Structure 1
Amino acid sequence: MADDAQEVAEPSIDLREYWNIVLKRKWTVIAVFLFVVTLVVVYTLRQVKIYEARASMIIEPYAPQVLGNVREVYALGADSYWSNKEYYETQYKVITSRTVSAKIVQQLHLEGNKEFLGIDKLPPEEQKLFLDDPPDYVEMVRGMLEVEPVKDSRTVYVKARHRYPKWAQRLANAAVNAYIEYNQQTRRQVTVEAADWLLSQARELKQRMDESENALHGFKQQNQILSVSLEDRQNITSQRLQDLNATLNKLQAERFALEAKRKQIQDIREARLPLESVDKVLSNPLIQQLKESYFKLKEQQAELGTKYLSEHPKLKAVEEKLKLVRQDIEREIDHVLSSLDTEYRAQMDNERKLQSELAKVKNEALEINKKEIEYNRLKRVADNNAAMYQLVLKRQKEATLASHQKTNNVYKLDAAVEPRDPVHPRVRLNLLLAMVLGLLGGIGLAFFLEYLDNTVKNQDDVEKALGLPFLGIIPSIKLQGEEEPKSVSLRDHYLLTHPKSTVAECCRTVRTNLLFMSPETPSRRLLVTSPGPEEGKSTVAINLAITMAQSGSRVLVVDTDMRRPRLHKTFGVPGSTGLTTLILGEAEAPAVIRHSEVAGLDVLPCGPIPPNPTELFHTERFTRIVEDLSAGYDRVIFDSPPVLVVADPLILSRKMDGVVLVIKSAHTSREMAQRAVRQLRDVQARILGVVINDLDLEHREYGYYYYRHYGYYYGEKESPPPSS
């Protein structure tokens, strides 16, 4: 076996192990179970019985529209599908509100009601003390009410709880009635308040409408637009502006024509235009006649000029006539020009007058526009006031009409009936919960105690915590009453008195495991020790020696516990000489080795107790003694002190072929066992394995119930053991 501990694998869940823990701590589980159940039963029976009554009602999302399209001031129900949830949640809160609860208190006259308060059966003195400091009745009622909506419906259950069934019934019915009344009253109150407010607003708006209409009439009267509207006056003024503009444009065109004629005539007069162009400008008949005469004379002049010289009298006479006609034409042109000037001046005068009139009309139009702004403002105010007045008046009439309605969106479905069975305390449920909690609590406490128990109890603890081979167990040896005074001696010789017992078979198993651990190189020198005292190492060493002797081996058991020796007492041999005598050289081995009643088994007692046992084990003589003893016997078993108490076992282990570590079941802690193993390994001792001693096979808590079958096959009829 290697000295280093093997790596521990992750533990798997073993339900049988858990079951064994429960069986081991069964009295703890039963005690906790009975305690919890008893406590809950007592608590439940001491509770006041509470009865629950349930009334139902339907809350519609919309109230019936009795007045058709008349809009309600206070809408009963939800405005839309999406607000249904918020509406219903609000109504559930309203049902259990202080307002509704106060109505219930008032309807049922709960103030000072002794039966409602549950003090009717108390002595008068206690009743008086209670009523002197009365509770909040509204909060009491609120605490007794509960709302339970029915899923996927508009039905709502209103539950009421009380110690008396009839009061539970009254409270449930009163809650439904109070909520319905509250719903109607709230709607009526809000509607009446709205109608009153609308009426006051209508009066105020009517006054404002009258004032605005009077202001508009005064404005029209002041600006003389009573008979003709302002719009008509604007149209008339606009038409006048158009006519004046057309006339002005016409006069200006005529003036421009006169200016052109006048300029042409002036050019003719100043001889800047030929006389031939006069007919194109002037339409005067006289000028046209003189023009014809002038051209005829010009033709005669031309004709005479071809015949006569320039000084000829005929030619001179024609020239004189031409001059006279020319003068007549110019004079006539002057007359026409003078007439044109007069007409031009008259035209200019008319144009100035027309422009003055046009400017006047434009100013009038501007004034009308200014008046139009003020007029429109006054008219708009008057129209708005009239519209608001009509709207508010109509809404006030609708609100007044709606306030007289008695419609509601809440209907009572079923009235509450008087309950027969209480809902609290729930005896069956409480008992069931108590049983479950008691069982779970007991099991939990059992596992907790098991978790706190860090002792080595079974093979798994040995292999996992210590990493050592498991050699076997030694069951608990239970003696009867008359055997108690000789308990030590009887325990050590139990194999002799009970050869077919379970204890004997377990000792043989340990012996067999030791022999098969190293069949080629058998361990002839064995050291039996334990982590601490009172763990049964001496008993194991004695019984192991007996089983080996019974198998035919020559065995010597040596008592090396020089502080508390006991082998001489067990085998009934003298203890005056022994191992210490050999080490000191005062005697030889044959003189101090004693024969026992078991064939093949000899005993070497401790001898006188020395003051320094540890120093004796360090001597060379002790080493030679061990070698000599090993040469004379097949097996030499050394019973040593505990490892954690003295250093003797550590010194002895270096001289042994192997060490057997004895651990007392459910007594030796894991820490003590690990420390003992660590110290033995520190001195390079060869630890053969662990024997669990004093294991109680009456219980199955350690998972070794199968060991009880050891004695079944062999039977114990020949020498029945004490009850175990």
Structure 2
Amino acid sequence: MPREFDGPAPAMGPDFRFILRVLAAHKTLIVVIVLALTALSAFAVSLMKDKYTSEALLLVDNRQVRVVRAEDQALNSITPEDGAILSEIEILKSTAVLSQAVADLNLATNQEFNPPVQADETKPFVERATAWTREQAHAVFGPELPGVVQAVLAHGDDMTKDTQLRETRAADSIDGVLDRVRRNLEVGVVGRSRVIQVRYTAREPEIAQKVVDTVVRRYMETRQQMDRDLSTSAVAWLEDRIATLRREVAEADTKVDAVRFKAGLVKNGTNGLMATTELEQARLRLAEAAALRARAVAQAQTLERSSGNGGSLASPVVAQLRATVASISTELAQLSRQYGPKHPRIQELQARLNEANSSLQQEVRHEIAGVREAANVAIEQENALKGMIAKLESGYQTMAVEAVPLRTLEAEAQAKRQLLDSLLGRLEEVLAQQDNRAFPTAVKLVSAPQVPHEPSGPFRVLLLLAGFVASLAVAVFIVFGIELFQRRIRTPDAVRRILGVGTVHIVPHHSTRGTRGRLDQIFQNHPFSLFSESMRALFRNHLSDLGPVGSIAVTSARPQDGKTSMSLAVAQVAAQAGRRVVVVDTDFRRSRIDGLFNLSAKKGLSDWIAGTATLDEIVHSSDQAPYAMIPAGRLMPETLDRFNVDGLIHLMAGLSPHFDLVVFDTAPALAVSDARIVCGAASKVLFVSRWGHTTASDLQAVADLGPIDHSKFVAVMTDVNLKKAASRGYQGPYNSYMATRKYYGDTTLRTAP
């Protein structure tokens, strides 16, 4: 349904002046809402208690010493992934860690973490309702209650017991305390680093520091215990597996010896014994050569990777040369502070230093060459032993067919022996990991929590500012909501759009104090007011061309729109213009003219229609008005049945010799059909809509009654508060109010409330 402000959108965007005028019109409401909501926000903020935040920083670093043998150590480092850091965060927030912290600090007895159970005055609704019902039932039925009432009360008691049981369990349980700890515990990664920040906010600074310290400590202990448990389980498994492998190696060696004896490879004086002994000795020498070769190669590689100053050599010559270089360098540095680079002493020391460095480098190269030569010799010895073993094995394979299973058993025994050696090395490494001094935990404490001295919240100024901004937004939203859902007609454009009329005449509001709503008397008593001028303009522009004898029907959509006041005002204007005017009241059900002029006991229009009175008997005059009046008369069934257009034409014909203008005061057009009959017979139809009273749905209902004869239809908007309309930015001829008021100097116009 159309609203008064429906229409095409402005071509240049929103009308900011309209927005400002609407806000200015409701400034009192806005101020009240803003002050109320801001005061409520200030009160809520004042109830908030200070909170303190303590924090600790943890570094995720999984670097650790990896021990392969007791005499061999290496530093192992693997860059932690995001998943590993997030895993540490989840461990920090786990129930196991937080439960231990809660138990250590005894937080279950702290009211901040475990509030007391509800008091009697705040008992659950079911308990209070059950008690009240029991009292009322005893008051009505006495000590003995009916079975149905007892069943209802018993059900209420069961629900109360269940509620109390849940509250007791909640008070005894640690789940509620853990939930409160988790809500105030913040654990996160600092930027893109490997540092984890642990923060906790509490009402007391000591509690905040203790919670962070305890959580971090328990987390470190849990993390170490996890590592120890893992090492212990690994050690147990390795020991069990090593014991099994030892038995299997011993059994394999026994089987090898048995096969050798069976094949005759171990008899005295035989070639098999000599070949076997020689092969075994060759293998032993090969093992020694391999160890010597590995040690020499490793030493050579280490020396080659080191710097050329011979820092890793144990040679006394290298040590003496290194001491000489250091001594000359020290002396040269001391003299360089006193003399320049061209001083003879400086040049002499520089030459000695270069000579010493050259000797040192030459000696180091000589030592490295010697070590490399020893490594090459070891490699050649190992290759020679491998060739000899291969030759012995080729001769050994031809000795007997029984030797084939022997080699299989020997290979199996050798594989188990190698696996045993590997597990022994892993066992030694895991045993070393159990020592926390050599194997620190993967997470290290960087910054310990401190007791905060300044509160971290709440930010009262920001909260007050946010409350003020929110209250201002709510106030503006309410104001524009009121404007949006405003269904009252307040602009002539709305009347034109709904009824399809060309123009709408504006009749401004004028105070009616002491005149009982008599606009005709306002026109008479205030002839120079805006109201009087608008009535003159209405009569001259729309109602003065009716011919020698004309008729005007004044109607509206709904009651209380001012039809009677407008009818009398139009009659007053026409009478003062020299016209002979008679006002005919056609509202048989609710006549106002009868009451205004004390005509209730006199005959009226209904009597003339019924044929019980003549035309002269129903026309009355009053000293209060310069026009004649025909009251509605008594309401009779035959009056409504005989009321039609022909009767009204006959009435106007009878009044034409005595009057120039007939003004019909009708009933509301939407209430009864009488108004449509009068409008059909009249020369002009004056349709009245009251500013701020008539709704858009009323006008739409009038438009739906049928097509409007625009040649005789005149739309009037009455009781328009020009100042209020102009201040609220409604479209229409309202902005000229101040200039018009200044021109006329009228001080009786009502201002906007």
TM-score > 0.5 by shorter chain: yes
Partners of 1:20 and 1:76 in 2: CA distance: 75
Aligned-CA RMSD value: 4.6
- Counterpart in the other structure of 2:412: 381
CA offset digits 1:241-298 (Å, max 9, x no partner): xxxxxxxxxxxxxxxxxxxxxxxxxxxxxxxxxxxxxxxxxxxxxxxxxxxxxxxxxx
From 556, 564, 569, the counterpart of 1:538: 564
- Counterpart in the other structure of 2:434: 403
- Counterpart in the other structure of 1:416: 449
Residue 198, structure 1, aligned to residue 238, structure 2: yes
**1:635 deviation in Å?**
5.0
- Counterpart in the other structure of 2:517: 488
Secondary structure of the 1:645 match is coil
- Counterpart in the other structure of 1:85: 82
**1:417 deviation in Å?**
3.2
Counting only pairs closer than 5 Å after superposition, residues 220-619 of structure 1 correspond to structure 2 as 220-226=260-266, 372=404, 374-404=405-435, 405-480=438-513, 483=514, 486-489=515-518, 491-511=519-539, 514=542, 524-549=550-575, 556-567=582-593, 570=596, 576=602, 579=605, 584=611, 586-587=613-614, 592=619, 594=621, 602-606=627-631, 608-611=633-636, 612-618=638-644
**1:28 deviation in Å?**
5.7
Secondary structure of the 1:654 match is helix
> Letter of the aligned partner of 1:608 in structure 2?
G
Q: Is the deviation greater in 145-154 or in 529-538? A: 145-154
Partners of 1:154 and 1:422 in 2: CA distance: 28
Partners of 2:548 and 2:174 in 1: CA distance: 91
**Contact 2:93–2:182 at 8 Å: present in 1 too?**
yes
**1:161 deviation in Å?**
1.5
CA offset digits 1:495-532 (Å, max 9, x no partner): 2222333433443454466369xx89999533210112
CA 1:134 to 1:621, structure 2 compared with 1: closer, same or farther past 3 Å?
closer
Secondary structure of the 2:186 match is strand
CA 1:390 to 1:69, structure 2 compared with 1: closer, same or farther past 3 Å?
closer
CA 1:175 to 1:723, structure 2 compared with 1: closer, same or farther past 3 Å?
closer
**Contact 1:98–1:139 at 8 Å: present in 2 too?**
no
**Contact 2:553–2:678 at 8 Å: present in 1 too?**
yes
> Letter of the aligned partner of 2:448 in structure 1?
A
From 98, 101, 116, the counterpart of 1:101: 98
Partners of 1:228 and 1:116 in 2: CA distance: 92
**1:645 deviation in Å?**
1.9
From 711, 715, 719, the counterpart of 1:690: 715
- Counterpart in the other structure of 2:253: 213
**1:163 deviation in Å?**
1.5
> Letter of the aligned partner of 2:500 in structure 1?
G
Partners of 1:370 and 1:496 in 2: CA distance: 148
CA 1:392 to 1:64, structure 2 compared with 1: closer, same or farther past 3 Å?
closer
- Counterpart in the other structure of 2:394: none
Partners of 2:442 and 2:485 in 1: CA distance: 66
**1:675 deviation in Å?**
1.6
Residue 659, structure 1, aligned to residue 703, structure 2: no
Counting only pairs closer than 5 Å after superposition, residues 617-636 of structure 1 correspond to structure 2 as 617-618=643-644, 620-627=646-653, 635-636=661-662
CA 1:470 to 1:186, structure 2 compared with 1: closer, same or farther past 3 Å?
farther
From 710, 713, 717, the counterpart of 2:742: 713
Secondary structure of the 2:700 match is helix
Secondary structure of the 1:691 match is strand
Partners of 1:150 and 1:707 in 2: CA distance: 65
- Give the TM-score of the pair, scaled to structure 2: 0.63
**1:401 deviation in Å?**
2.0
- Counterpart in the other structure of 1:674: 700
Partners of 2:469 and 2:228 in 1: CA distance: 56
> Letter of the aligned partner of 2:744 in structure 1?
G
Partners of 2:694 and 2:51 in 1: CA distance: 56
**Contact 2:582–2:662 at 8 Å: present in 1 too?**
yes
CA 1:228 to 1:10, structure 2 compared with 1: closer, same or farther past 3 Å?
farther
Partners of 1:652 and 1:576 in 2: CA distance: 22
**1:415 deviation in Å?**
3.2
Partners of 2:653 and 2:100 in 1: CA distance: 107
**Contact 1:502–1:708 at 8 Å: present in 2 too?**
no
**Contact 1:471–1:510 at 8 Å: present in 2 too?**
no
Residue 153, structure 1, aligned to residue 200, structure 2: no
> Letter of the aligned partner of 1:673 in structure 2?
L
**1:654 deviation in Å?**
1.3
**Contact 2:209–2:449 at 8 Å: present in 1 too?**
yes
**1:715 deviation in Å?**
3.2
Matched positions, count? 561
Partners of 2:33 and 2:271 in 1: CA distance: 109
CA 1:551 to 1:54, structure 2 compared with 1: closer, same or farther past 3 Å?
farther
> Letter of the aligned partner of 2:83 in structure 1?
E
Secondary structure of the 1:561 match is coil
Secondary structure of the 1:383 match is helix
**1:57 deviation in Å?**
3.1
Partners of 2:257 and 2:618 in 1: CA distance: 157
**Contact 1:561–1:606 at 8 Å: present in 2 too?**
no
- Counterpart in the other structure of 1:334: none
Q: Percent identity?
A: 21
**1:720 deviation in Å?**
4.3
Partners of 1:488 and 1:479 in 2: CA distance: 5
Partners of 2:402 and 2:654 in 1: CA distance: 148
CA 1:696 to 1:723, structure 2 compared with 1: closer, same or farther past 3 Å?
closer
Partners of 1:616 and 1:702 in 2: CA distance: 49
**Contact 1:492–1:570 at 8 Å: present in 2 too?**
no
**Contact 2:557–2:669 at 8 Å: present in 1 too?**
yes
Unaligned residue ranges in structure 2 (runs of 5+): 1-5, 120-167, 277-396
Residue 59, structure 1, aligned to residue 60, structure 2: yes
**Contact 2:66–2:76 at 8 Å: present in 1 too?**
no
Unaligned residue ranges in structure 1 (runs of 5+): 1-7, 124-128, 234-364
CA 1:591 to 1:200, structure 2 compared with 1: closer, same or farther past 3 Å?
closer
**1:100 deviation in Å?**
2.7
Secondary structure of the 2:417 match is helix
Partners of 1:20 and 1:492 in 2: CA distance: 34
**Contact 1:554–1:635 at 8 Å: present in 2 too?**
yes
CA 1:98 to 1:562, structure 2 compared with 1: closer, same or farther past 3 Å?
closer
CA offset digits 1:71-105 (Å, max 9, x no partner): x99x998x55xx72212222221222223324434
Residue 170, structure 1, aligned to residue 210, structure 2: yes
- Counterpart in the other structure of 1:110: 106
**1:579 deviation in Å?**
4.8
- Counterpart in the other structure of 1:641: 667
CA offset digits 1:686-712 (Å, max 9, x no partner): 662432333444634472653643751
CA 1:38 to 1:424, structure 2 compared with 1: closer, same or farther past 3 Å?
same
**1:536 deviation in Å?**
0.8
Partners of 1:115 and 1:488 in 2: CA distance: 69
From 684, 694, 703, the counterpart of 2:730: 703
Partners of 1:141 and 1:569 in 2: CA distance: 79
- Give the TM-score of the pair, scaled to structure 1: 0.65
Q: Is the deviation greater in 24-33 or in 83-92? A: 24-33
Partners of 1:648 and 1:43 in 2: CA distance: 62
**1:158 deviation in Å?**
1.2
